[in-house]
Structure 1
Amino acid sequence: MIASQMALNVTGQNISNINTPGYTRQRLDQYSFITSGSGLYHSANSASVGSGVMLSGISQLRDPFLDIRFRKEMSSVGSASAILDGLDQLESVINDVNKSGITTQIQDLLGKLNDLNDHVGEKEFDSLVRSSAEALCQLLNTSAKDLETVFENVYNQYTQNVQEADNILKKIQELNEEIRRSDINGDSALELRDQRNMLIDQLSEYMKIDVTYSEENLGAGFSVEKLTIKMVDNKTNKPGATLIDGIYRADLSIAQKVDAAGKPVVDADGKPVPDDLLRLAISELHDSAYQTQLSNTNSQFQLQGLDFGKNAQGGQQTIDITYKDKDGNKHTVSVDFTVEKPADDTPEAIAKAREKTLANLADALNKDATLQGLFTAKATSNGLVMTSTDKGADAATVTQMELAANNTGITLGDTKSIAAVPANTTIVDEGHGYGALESTRQMLTGAGEFRTDGGDKSIRGIPYYQKSLDALANKFATEMNRINTTRPDGTSFSEVGSNGEAVQKQAGNLFTAEGDDPKNPDTVITAGNISISSAWKSGEVQIISSVSGNPVQGTMNDNINRLINVFETSYTFRPSDIIRTNDATFTTGEPKQDNALTPGTELTAHITYIDGMNQEHTVKVKFQSGATAEDTQNNLYAALQKDQTINGIFDMKDNGTTITFDDKAVVPEGSLCNLVTGIAFTDAQGSKTDAFSMGDGAVAGAASGDSIYKGNLEGCYANMEGVLGAHKSTTYTIYETYAAAADGINTSRDSVSGVDLNEEGMNLLQYQKSFAAACRLMTALDEAMDKVINGMGIVGR
């Protein structure tokens, strides 16, 4: 009867929770009870019957293997979903389909140049070109700003996701503590385990995890269940950093940037500066009160804030420090220090007095005989941190800091124990994580071919599209400026040409970075800062129509044709066009020489290089051939060393079979260094010659010199759209695959763990009939006992 009644209760519990999220179907565990041994007068001819049913507890119907499979798939779903979210936002910016955007405006500017080509010298058409160019600049500015907004949105999502994952760990730790207490008291706490399983499922979306259950020995032969969760290293596919270990957990945060000495970097407001790669940081394990750390670390106690009241008098002050020693015994130490009196009530004077007072306090704490061997105190910009001298279980821990009664006019701000020191934090390096957190981080840091730190260049996130748009804007502006400032032979319009062409005073840069000097620009043009130059706006600079400056029919618009060709010419777009750090170099190929080349033949090397504004220059250096290719290269190197222009800009190194060019100047971050892009040779008559050559040179450095796209300007933007579209299509297919697999596994889990109303209804009837039969048995036994007691042995009375 009791077993049937308890089974009915369990069935009712299942039915009542049929719609409860995460609920796992429960089952009453029973076994047949039999007594051992026989009675003293046991008959050999009698049959032994069991003694009924015993209850061993209530358990959950759950398949651990399905849990493992589901959580593995969910980490893949989370990874693909995070990438899709970022790509969806990017697509809202880099997408000219069915709307007027950058592509349409490029076509409009080309049309306006063609109109000007037909109406040379008419100012209104020049004005239309300028207006169209300004509209294109504004569109590029807007797109760059929108990409920054996308970055901010995804970054905010990333910080929220890290915080949410950290909160999940905190909740799991709290549930572990409650489950542990329940296990000690003999309660299975199945509902708490359901809540914990739901949280573990949520955590698996953020990262790939390994979940194990073990027994924790509490002594005297008693043990309880212990849950351990580790993050799986995606490169080794093995469990790595521990996130949960029973009642201990780690904290999750974005890693803090450190300087060359390994010290954390803070901004002007004293806030931590995030790691450049926004890597995930996993702290040491600790209990919920941060009083016990499992790894070898120091404990820390922080005072944040020291306030001065109006007309604070300063003077001697006593502070009481309460701490626990390694054995858990509490002690209180009183320390005297000097409070600096502010010169007046201005914020500046108070800040100065606060800084001095905190320094006095730190000095006094460090000199106290009792605290000296236990803690070190360090004043911060607005507070103080006390760090234990010993580590781990041997460390003393400060628990309270308060001022004794005083008339100095100061009050303490917030005081608290803080997390472990950064030295014991595990940093999840790029590629070692997997899931929504890692994919979101990759969207924020993936610069693709524009990457300069030597990392994975196959990851294309928001920075890749930002740099691609910058490359388009820079190439457009650079080429337009080049044609409006120099003739086809490279001579400047501001000087008399090599063939006697007239000086054209209205020549100049059409585009600059916003606010840059058009005559001496020094800021790299990007999509975010491109604008028509102030000189073009004012009319000081105009579009140069004729290369010769001669308004004769047939040549009066040949320079406009050069500008039109900018939109039709196929260019090679390289990361080094917009990212050139001080380590960028150019190395020639190996020399080759025709056997028919006579030693002493005059040759000219044409060294082409781009400056910090990506303007192209060519320097001619004459030299003589030698008997062998190596001899000719030596002659070239000697001539280059003597050339004032080349030797003034580049450090050169003869490597025996190649020559390397390296910019002598050290450019600041964000600027571009000078870079040689090619070397060609002509003979004494000025004709191109292959009698001596140095093959294809190569650009080396942090930024790649390899091509990312080859084509015209409009095609470059279309290529960005194509790359984004292909990335999204592939990711969506991957997402659909993983989501379908996860749904299938979840359906299998529900078939095992979910509540089925039909099945529970059958159980309800079964247990009710069993209960009724047990009751009828008791009635029959009662009737038999009554007959035995009251009806036997009375016949014949």
Structure 2
Amino acid sequence: MRSTFAGFTTAQLALRASQYGLDVTGQNISNVNTNGYTRQVVDQISLNLQNAGRYATVANVGYGTLVTGVSQVRDPYLDIRFRNEVAKVGEADVKLAGLQEIESILDEIAKDGIQTQLSDLNTMLQKLSSNVSSKEYENMVKSSAESLTKYLNQCAKQLETIRSNHEYNLTEVEVPEINNILENIAELNKSIKNGQINGTPALELLDQRNVLIDQLASYMKINVTYVPTKISDSLTIDELKIDLVGENNTINLLNHLDHVNLEIPSGTTQLNIVDKDGNPVKDANDVVIGEDIFSELSTGSLKGNLEFLNSSGEFDGANNSFRGIGYYQQMLDLMATKLATTFNDINNTGLDPADLHDMFASSDGGTITAKTICIASGWENSDYGLTASVTPDGSAPASGANDNILKMINALQANQSFVDEGTLPDDSDDITMFTGTFHEFISNLNTTLGIDIKSTKSSLNNYVSVANEITDAKSAISSVSLDEEGMNLIRYQQSYAAAARLMTTLDEAVDTLINKMGIVGR
């Protein structure tokens, strides 16, 4: 016969399970606005301790329910999808921000830019061509040319500022933040392990760790795995492992309590991964794989920042190379160099090579770039002027002759070849970046920038849309719903009341058994 008091155990376990349910529901409700919190549920099993024989005639009734623990409601597949997608969002977002900063400098629509300066120089040359003997008009040309050079200087310096800001963000913000995330995850791993060994699920610590992993995923593409580790015969816990998924190699970033560090050597944008001793990480064959890992990065804001700084589009010799800030800096340099050499050659036509009259020069005495281009000191100090006309025999030109000034005007309107000169003597590695007028060059540069921005923005919007869909799917599973928790409150309250009623009914039955049986005939 079943134990008289077995029903009390069933009722007592039912009360306890309902109380756990109310406690967990209260925990969920109190954390409805907590960032990264994952909805918790009570794990229950049906308890049956009877081992009836094969020929037993007594019904095998269980002993109620047993709470085995509290767990989180998460979908690992959605976590993987979200982390892969958020890495793409991070890369596109960094690139778009950088390109928009460049646009604010090279914007030829919202403000008077290089096009306006070129048009003004053309206008001044036109006026001079009709009054070649007028010092006033030549000074106007000189002033216009100087304004053009100063505008190019300003653009170059602003682009340098953008580069410096992104380098600072990379070296002083992103890399230290990644190292800090890895360190914090390792510390959480230690606390989680200690908690689980001591019998607590450490769910809140798991939430904190998942938030950090999601943050890390925005910087680079990672693979997160959980390795079951046997602590004792009765306890196995999952130890965390995080790997960087590279284009050619998989580089371990964190193995439970051990983690690597990212570093950038001073004065460079080279990214290295080093171990705890500061040595570049090696693979199983003792080959260094943690040195200059830019080419290994497949996506993420870290790649976006490095690509923005290091990639220069067609200047890299690859048509599919991203046009980072280097591309726009070098294109401005090409224009400044072409402008200077073209006008210097025209103004020096027919002159003794030992006594050249350059219109443009470099402020530091080196190569002429957008940053260094300036008015040549001889022309600026009026040591010499513009060569208005040149005769084939070298004789003095006729009064009012302006053929050389007209050549300058034509140079502004004629097609030019803007060539990035390589290093080989036979010019076989020279790259023609553009063919057209100076105006068309700037127009094409702005068009290219606009296309890059539009393409990057479109990619970002697509990635954000997919990431939001995954986030919504995660929220539907893992986030706290007040409607659902409200229903749980009613459900657990009713089950608690029913279990209490069961206890009362059993008490009445036992009272009948003890106090009201065996008194017939007294």
Task: Say yes or no: TM over 0.5.
Answer: yes
1:32 and 2:46 correspond:
yes
2:386 to 536, 543, 553: 543
Separation in 1, partners of 2:330, 2:281: 43
Pair 1:455–1:712, CA change in 2 (3 A): closer
Equivalent of residue 49 in structure 1, options 38, 61, 65: 61
- Which structure's residues are more often helix, by fraction? 2
Match of 1:62 in 2: 74
Matched, 1:721 2:446: yes
The one of 261, 271, 281 equivalent to 1:251 is 261
Residue 522 (structure 2) pairs with residue 778 (structure 1):
no
Determine the structure 2 residue equivalent to 1:619. none
Aligned to 1:201: 214
Question: Is 1:186 aligned to residue 199 of structure 2?
Answer: yes
Is contact 2:41–2:73 with CA below 8 Å preserved after alignment?
A: yes
8 A Cα contact 2:274 2:281, kept in partner: no
Relative to structure 1, is the Cα distance of residues 165 and 43 closer, same or farther in structure 2, using a 3 angstrom cutoff?
closer
Other structure's SS at 2:295 match: coil
Is residue 225 of structure 2 the alignment partner of residue 212 of structure 1?
yes
Read off the aligned partner of 2:295 and give its amino acid letter: E
Amino acid of the structure 1 residue aligned with 2:38: T
For residues 615-662 of structure 1, the C-alpha deviation after alignment (integer angstroms, 9 at most, x for no partner) is xxxxxxxxxxxxxxxxxxxxxxxxxxxxxxxxxxxxxxxxxxxxxxxx
Written as runs of structure 1 = structure 2, the 5 A alignment for 1:278-677 is: 278-284=269-275, 286=276, 425-451=290-316, 458-486=321-349, 492-494=350-352, 508-514=357-363, 516=365, 523-548=366-391, 550-552=396-398, 556-576=401-421, 580-581=422-423, 584-586=424-426
What is the RMSD computed on CA atoms of the aligned residues? Answer: 2.4
Check 1:10–1:169 CA distance in 2 against 1; reply closer, same or farther (3 A cut): same
CA shift, 1:524, in A, is 1.2
Measured after TM superposition, the shift of residue 785 of structure 1 is 1.1
Shift of 1:183: 1.5
- In the TM superposition, 1:39-118 aligns within 5 A as 44=57, 46-118=58-130
Deviations 1:517-556 (A, max 9, x none): xxxxxx2111001110110011112011111264436x70
Answer whether contact 1:512 1:531 (CA < 8 A) is retained: yes
- Post-superposition shift, 1:706? 2.3
SS in 1 for 2:503: helix
Distance 1:43 1:784 in 2: 25
Q: Secondary structure at the match of 1:49?
A: coil
Q: Is the 8 A contact 1:279 1:430 kept in 2?
A: no
SS at structure 1 position matched to 2:110 = coil
Instruction: Pick from 252, 260, 267 the counterpart of residue 242 of structure 1.
Output: 252
Residue 738 of structure 1: CA displacement? 0.5
Name the aligned partner's letter for residue 200 of structure 2.
Answer: D
CA distance in 2, matches of 1:476, 1:221: 79
Distance 1:721 1:91 in 2: 8
Q: Secondary structure at the match of 1:69?
A: helix
Query: Who is 1:589 aligned against?
Result: none
Post-superposition, which runs of at least 4 consecutive aligned residues in structure 1 deviate over 3 A?
A: 218-222, 293-297, 422-427, 454-457
- 1:177 corresponds in structure 2 to 190
Assess if the C-alpha contact under 8 Å between 2:42 and 2:69 holds in 1: yes
Once the two structures are superposed, residues 250-296 of structure 1 have per-residue CA deviations (whole angstroms, 9 ceiling, x without a partner) of 11122x3xxxxxxxxxxxxxxx443xxx2321122x5xxx79x9989
Verify the 8 A CA contact 2:262 2:271 in the aligned structure 1: yes
Matches within 5 A, 1:740-779: 740-779=465-504
5+ residue gaps, structure 1, are 257-271, 298-421, 487-491, 496-502, 517-522, 587-698
1:757 shift after superposition: 0.8
Q: Within 2, Cα distance between the matches of 1:200 and 1:769?
A: 40
Is contact 1:79–1:439 with CA below 8 Å preserved after alignment?
yes
Provide the C-alpha distance between the structure 2 equivalents of 1:539 and 1:174, rounded to a whole number of angstroms.
Answer: 71
> What is the CA–CA distance in structure 2 between the aligned matches of 1:283 and 1:158, rounded to whole Å?
17
Report the Cα distance in structure 2 between the residues aligned to 1:706 and 1:455, rounded to whole angstroms. Answer: 11
Q: In 2 relative to 1, CA 295–135 (structure 1 residues): closer, same or farther, beyond 3 Å?
A: closer
Return the offset for 1:705: 1.2
Task: Report the TM-score when normalising by structure 2.
Answer: 0.91
- Alpha carbons of structure 1 residues 56 and 107: separation in structure 2 relative to 1, 3 Å: same
Q: Secondary structure at the match of 2:94?
A: helix
CA offset at residue 423 of structure 1?
7.2
Q: Judging changes above 3 Å, is the alpha-carbon distance between structure 1 residues 296 and 533 closer, same or farther for their aligned structure 2 residues?
A: closer
Which residue identity is paired with 2:155? S
Give deviations 1:163-209, integer Å, cap 9, x for gaps: 11111111111111111111111111000000111111111110000
1:485-539: CA deviation from partner (whole Å, max 9, x where unpaired): 01xxxxx3238xxxxxxx9x8x6101100154xxxxxx21110011101100111
CA contact (8 A) 1:450 1:457 kept: no
1:183–1:189 Cα contact (<8 Å) kept: yes
Would you say the 8 A contact 1:283–1:424 is kept in 2? no
1:138 aligned to which of 150, 167, 170: 150
Code of the residue aligned with 1:563 in structure 2: it is: M
> For residues 730 and 563 of structure 1, what CA distance do their matches in structure 2 show?
38
The one-letter amino acid paired with 1:36 is: Q
CA shift at 1:426, angstroms?
4.5
- Three-state SS of the structure 2 residue aligned to 1:430 is helix
Q: Judge conservation of contact 1:449–1:575 (CA < 8 Å) in 2.
A: no
Rounded to whole Å, the distance in 2 between the matches of 1:446 and 1:145 is 19
Q: How big is the shift at 1:219?
A: 5.0
- The answer to whether the Cα contact below 8 Å between 2:106 and 2:113 also exists between their aligned partners in 1 is no
Cross-structure match for 1:7: 21
Residues 82-138 of structure 1: CA deviation (Å, up to 9, x unaligned): 101111111111111121111101100100000001111011001100011111110
Shift in Å, 1:36: 2.8
Aligned partners of 2:340, 2:379: CA distance in 1, in Å? 13
Structure 1 SS opposite 2:36: coil
Distance 1:431 1:49 in 2: 62
SS in 2 for 1:542: coil
SS in 1 for 2:413: coil
Distance 1:147 1:296 in 2: 37
> Aligned partners of 2:189, 2:89: CA distance in 1, in Å?
27
**TM-score with structure 1 setting the length:** 0.60
Structure 1 partner of 2:435: 710
DSSP-derived class of the 1:218 partner: strand
Q: Which residue number corresponds to residue 267 of structure 1?
A: none
Q: Tell me how many residue pairs correspond in the alignment.
A: 501
Please tell me whether the aligned partners of residues 274 and 280 of structure 2 are also in contact (alpha carbons under 8 angstroms): no
Residue 274 of structure 2 aligns to which amino acid in structure 1?
Answer: S
Structure with greater strand percent: 1
AA of the residue aligned to 1:561:
L
| SS of the residue 2:323 aligns to | coil
CA apart distance, 1:43: 6.5
CA contact (8 A) 2:115 2:439 kept: yes
State the Cα deviation string for residues 744-766 of structure 1 (Å, max 9, x = none).
Answer: 00100000001111111111101
Shift of 1:585: 2.0
Q: Map Cα deviations across residues 747-791 of structure 1 (whole Å, 9 max, x no partner).
A: 000000011111111111011000000001101111111122122
